[in-house]
Each structure stands twice: as C-alpha cells, then as structure tokens.
A and B are shown apart, each in its own frame.
Chain A
Amino acid sequence: MAPDLTYKRSRNVPEQVIGGVLFLCAAASTLVTLGVVAVLLRETIAFFGEVTVVEFVTGTRWEPMFQEKHFGVLPLLAGSVQVAACAAVIALPVGLLTAIFLSEYAGPRVQGILKPLLEILAGIPTVVYGYFALTFVTPLLRTVFPSTDVFNAASASVVVGIMIIPTVASLSEDALRAVPQALREGAYGLGATKLEVSTRVVVPAALSGIIASFILAISRAIGETMAVVIAAGNLPNLTLNPLESIQTMTAYIVQASLGDTPQGTIVYRTLFAVGMTLFLITLAMNILSQWVLARFREEYQ
C-alpha cells in the first residue's frame, strides 16, 4: 500500500504551528525586559531634561517635594548601600556556615527538619519582616541604645539580613554539594579532620558558587522594599549612624507612589530615575554573579 502522504502533511502543519506558538511564549519574556527598559528610559530621559545628570549623581540632598527642590540621589543610594552592607555582615557568614553545616555535618534526618524550616523563612512575606522589625527588633535596640530613632537603619538591616540568610544558605549549599565526594575522601585519606576538609578543600572548590550566592543575596537586599519602608523610615539622610532614620531608593519609590503623583510632573519622573538606578545596580550585580559562576567554575568530571 502506498504511504498516505496527506496524513503525514496534516500531522506536520499543526506541529509547526505549535512550535511557533511555544517560541512566541518564550520570546515574550524578552519583551518584558524591553518593556522595563523602555518605560524606565523614557521617563528618565524626561527627568534629565529638567535635572542635570551631575546634580542627580553628586547632589547630597534629596528633597523633590520641597518648595526649593533638590535631586541628589546620594542619600537614597547611601541608605540602600548601608542597609545592604549591614544585612550582608549578618547574612553572609551565617548563611555560609549554615550551608557548611547542612552539606558537611548534618545527617539526612537533621537536613529533613532544617531545610523546610529555612524554606519557610525564605517564604515569609517582606511586610511581615517589616512588622517584626518595628514591633520587636526596634524596641530591643532602643533598650540597648536609648538614642535610637523609632525608624532606623539598624532594625531594617537586621531583618533584611535574616531575610537573605536562606538565599545564601541554599545557593551555597548547592555549590558545596556539587564538589565531588572523591575530593573529600582524598583529603580524609591524607588524615585531614572534617574542619580541614570543609574549609581547605570543599569551600575553596565551591568558591565561585559561594561568591555568586553572596552577590545575589546583596542584590536582593538592595532591592528589598517593604521591610525597609516600614522599619527604616522615610527621611533621606546622608549618615553612617545606623540608629538614625534613613530612606532607601526602594522606600522613596513607595513613598512617592503612595502620594498623588500625576503623570508628567517632576515627582512622577523621579520614580523612574530612581527606579532606573535601582534596576541598573541590581542588573549589574546579577550579571556579575553569573560571570563569577561561569568564569571561576571548577570543572570536575
């Protein structure tokens, strides 16, 4: 019997249509990125029509809603960096040690308990962390340092630090686990203790993954919004004192959009200029972390 060619054809046409539709869905994700960039760029360019780039980048006062307006982004940038840096001081060591414990020390039963707990910690909404900062961490800080403001950077940093522990821990743990067992066994065979195997063999071998997890966690801390809005205050303040009230870039965006910001006004445009700054910083850090992973990856086969 001759092969039924029409049957084959009719089967192939929808195949191609389906492939095309699936491709469009995947390609749509690039449209999202283009949309973000286009939207941010359009209003940011309009913003820089009214405010010079030099004033934005070097100005030390952020007072867009005052009679006499100032548009220096440095206080907001410093606020974000301060919160992220203090959070990193807490989360990076704690997260890495947690990862080492989970991957090198804990047995399957302990892991079975700890990992879901860390997942729950990672899944707690940021507004809850804000509540925790305001009603628990801040009062605690004020009993130790009575001069602490009600809204302060330290309290926000502590909860943001707790928030990013699971990010560091789970990504670093993946990196530690990817180190082949043979390396550990080789080191044990030479008489190394568990401490020596962990810190001189496993951690160095997983270093690219660990550093990538650090960078991602810091990038998350910079983009963190609600905990900072609730706990750190809304006062653009160029200070190094963590007990004072500050404002981060993300907190400003929320504060400005809570008020009435008609399209076309300078305040509306500041949302996009600050948003663009935030987007570029976090994007650069994400790309950096991917580059570290690719560039310094140790390949074992």
Chain B
Amino acid sequence: MTRSERPVDDAARTAFHRRRRLAGSVFAVVCGAATLVGVVALAVLLADVFADGFRELDVAFLTSFASRFPERAGIKAALAGSIWIVSLTALIAFPLSVAAAIYLEEYAPRSWVTRAIQTNIANLAGVPSIVYGILGLALFVRALGLDRSVISGALTLSLLVMPVIIMAAQEALRAVPSTIREAAYGLGATRWQVVRTQVLPMAMPGILTGTILALSRAVGETAPLIMVGAVGFLAFTPQGLSDSFTVLPLQIYNWVSRPQDEFRALAAAGIIVLLTLLLTMNAVAIILRNRYSSRS
C-alpha cells in the first residue's frame, strides 16, 4: 500500500481496515468459486455422459461389433484395438524411455550435448499430438510401408508418450537420495550395478506411475490415430501387427459425428467404457504412488 492511501484519523483507519478485511473475504470466496468451476464442469460433463449413455450399456454392447443399426452396434473391435495399441505402446516406449532417463540422470556428463537432449525432450512433450500423427503417416504408413496397421498406430503413440515417460522417470530417479548411490559406490559397485540393484528398484514405483499416466493419455488419443489410418468402422478384432484397427476414442468420434440421436447415445456409452478404463489405470497409478510416498 502506498503512503497516500494511508488514512489519518481513527474512524477512517477503522473503516480502512474493515475494507481490507472485506476485500480479503471477497477474494477468498472468488478463489474458492474459481476452483469450483473445474470441479463443477467435471460433474456436469460426467452427468451429461451418464444420462445419455447408461441405458445403452450392457454385455451385448461390449461384445458386439459396430453396425449400421444402432440397436445392434457395440464396441468389441474398438476395445480390442485399444488394448492392442496400449500394450504395444507400453512394450515399445517403456524400455526406451527408462533407458533414456537413466542415461540423463545417472550417466550423462554436464555438457552441451546433454543440455540439448534435455531441451529437445521438453520441446517434444509440447508438440501437438496431431503433428505426431503427420509424422506417423509419412514415416510408418508411407515410407516404411507398414500401412494402416496396428504397428503403425503403436509406433506413432510410442513417439508421442516417450517424452512424457522420460521426464516422469527422470523425476523418480532424481528423488532417490544420493546417499544410497554413495553407499553402493563405497562398497565397490560399478555404475551399472548401482543403477540396477539400488537406484532403479527404489525409483520403480514412481517410474511406473508416470508410465501408467502417460499410457492413459495414449488410450484417449484420437487425432494421431486418424492420421495413421485407424478406421471408424470395423467388424473384426486385430489378430496381428499388420491388421487394420480401430480404438475406443475413434469409435466414439465416428458415432458422435452422425446426426442421429441413437448414435449419440452409443457414443455416450462408449465414453463410459473409455472413462472406466482410464479411471482404472489412474487408480493403479495412485495406489502405486501412495505406497511409494509412504515408504520414503
């Protein structure tokens, strides 16, 4: 507060302080209300989806293929496709990302090369997902001739989630106290022995949490998979890496973009399935994180 604002006599001073306290209360309420905007939006969104989609949800919906007739349509192909894609993405992205994180945290010298790699990873995490789709289309689908297949989709999503997993894994590795490393070195362990037997096991819950959260982002991705040619209408589940595929969010998009209300309801039911899958993954991540934080 500036000198000129300061009141001179007692009555004015009392009024001034009352105003300050009132402003404080108003601000607290405004902040609380702003916080509720996000919470209310989440509640309304979930209510909207459940109101539209809950009655469509039954066993037949989970075990039927897509159909021109809304009453017969289901999400079997999309659910199977999503599980294929996320499993493959995990298999490809997890080892590469953890290796990269171990290098950056435990091995890398403080040099411009390390800084460049680090900056590059941070920037990759900010690239819009659709740009990864363009890369996937040009590189995997066209240049490598993998065509519109499960493996093209999984490779594209692997590139997308790797920067996120690397940064989460780095954070987990950084949280391991350096005394652990020093003690192991003191016993004559080599760098790799320190990493493999001490640092990595301690950091693993954190790494897994970050990985699961990144993969749950991959499960919800639509745009890059449209780019690499996932199809919206499929009457079989993928049997191999080179089969064509669809995924839950793409099936949902396909239904949303039809004007009939019946398909909108199917989309809502599909969203419930997708959100259930995501919440399950998040719950696993949170349980891992809580066990981890209670131990350290």
| Contacts from A to B (Cβ < 8 Å) | 11-12, 14-15, 18-19, 21-23, 25-30, 32-33, 35-36, 39-40, 42-43, 93-94, 97-98, 100-102, 104-106, 114, 116-121, 123-132, 134-136, 162, 165-166, 169, 193-196, 198-199, 216, 219-220, 222-226, 229-230, 250, 253-254, 257-258, 263, 271-272, 275, 278-279, 282-283, 285-287, 290
CB neighbours (8 Å) of A19 from chain B are 103, 107, 191-192
Rounded to whole Å, the gap between the CB of B9 and the closest CB of chain A is 18
C-alpha gap A237/B32 in the complex (Å):
38
C-alpha gap A114/B191 in the complex (Å):
41
Which residue of A121, A123, A279 contacts B217 across the interface (Cβ within 8 Å)? A123
List 9 A-B pairs, minimum CB-CB distance, nearest first: A223-B128, A125-B220, A97-B34, A22-B103, A25-B99, A101-B31, A286-B126, A225-B223, A26-B100
Which residue of A127, A165, A194, A272 contacts B253 across the interface (Cβ within 8 Å)? A127
Q: Which of chain A's residues has its CB closest to B138's CB?
A: A39
Size category of the binding interface on chain B: 35 or more
A29-B166, A132-B45, A226-B253 known; A195 and B120 CB under 8 Å? no
Quick one: CB contact mask for B266-296 with A, threshold 8 Å, 1 for yes? 0110010011001100100010000000000
A131-B267, A230-B257, A263-B142 known; A33 and B226 CB under 8 Å? no
A98-B35, A100-B31, A169-B38 known; A278 and B126 CB under 8 Å? no
Evaluate contact between B123 and A125: CB separation under 8 angstroms.
no
CB neighbours (8 Å) of A114 from chain B are 35, 39
CB neighbours (8 Å) of A126 from chain B are 220, 222-223
Evaluate contact between A29 and B100: CB separation under 8 angstroms.
yes
Evaluate contact between B223 and A30: CB separation under 8 angstroms.
no
CB neighbours (8 Å) of A18 from chain B are 192
- If over half of B's interface residues share one DSSP class (helix, strand or loop), that class is named, otherwise mixed; here it is helix
A27-B117, A130-B253, A250-B128 known; A35 and B139 CB under 8 Å? yes
Evaluate contact between A32 and B102: CB separation under 8 angstroms.
no
Evaluate contact between A198 and B116: CB separation under 8 angstroms.
no
Evaluate contact between B24 and A194: CB separation under 8 angstroms.
yes
CB neighbours (8 Å) of B97 from chain A are 25
Best-surrounded residue of A102, A104, A120, A134 (most CB of chain B within 10 A): A120
Question: Which of B67-75, B129-137, B178-186, B238-246 lies at the interface?
Answer: B129-137
Evaluate contact between A230 and B256: CB separation under 8 angstroms.
yes
Q: List 10 A-B contacts (CB under 8 A).
A: A18-B192, A29-B121, A118-B39, A124-B42, A132-B48, A162-B37, A194-B24, A195-B24, A196-B20, A222-B128
Evaluate contact between A250 and B223: CB separation under 8 angstroms.
yes
CB neighbours (8 Å) of A278 from chain B are 128, 130-131
Residues of chain B in range 84-143 having any CB-CB distance to chain A below 8 Å: 96-97, 99-100, 102-104, 107-108, 116-117, 119-124, 126-135, 137-139, 142
Known: A35-B139, A220-B126, A254-B130. 14 other contacts (CB 8 A): A21-B99, A23-B108, A26-B117, A32-B135, A116-B286, A121-B38, A135-B268, A194-B24, A194-B28, A195-B28, A225-B223, A230-B257, A278-B131, A283-B127
| Contacts from B to A (Cβ < 8 Å) | 1, 20-21, 23-24, 27-28, 30-32, 34-35, 37-39, 41-42, 44-45, 48-49, 52, 96-97, 99-100, 102-104, 107-108, 116-117, 119-124, 126-135, 137-139, 142, 159, 162-163, 166, 190-192, 213, 216-217, 219-223, 226-227, 249, 252-253, 256-257, 264, 267-268, 271, 274-275, 278-279, 282, 286
Evaluate contact between B253 and A230: CB separation under 8 angstroms.
yes
Which residue of B126, B274, B282 contacts A282 across the interface (Cβ within 8 Å)? B126
C-alpha gap A114/B33 in the complex (Å):
12
Evaluate contact between B124 and A123: CB separation under 8 angstroms.
no
Rounded to whole Å, the gap between the CB of A272 and the closest CB of chain B is 7
Rounded to whole Å, the gap between the CB of B113 and the closest CB of chain A is 8
A93-B34, A123-B217, A128-B274 known; A36 and B131 CB under 8 Å? yes
Evaluate contact between A30 and B34: CB separation under 8 angstroms.
no
C-alpha gap A213/B21 in the complex (Å):
30
CB neighbours (8 Å) of A287 from chain B are 123
Evaluate contact between A23 and B107: CB separation under 8 angstroms.
yes
Evaluate contact between A275 and B131: CB separation under 8 angstroms.
yes
Evaluate contact between B99 and A250: CB separation under 8 angstroms.
no
C-alpha gap A22/B30 in the complex (Å):
50
CB neighbours (8 Å) of A26 from chain B are 99-100, 103-104, 108, 117, 166
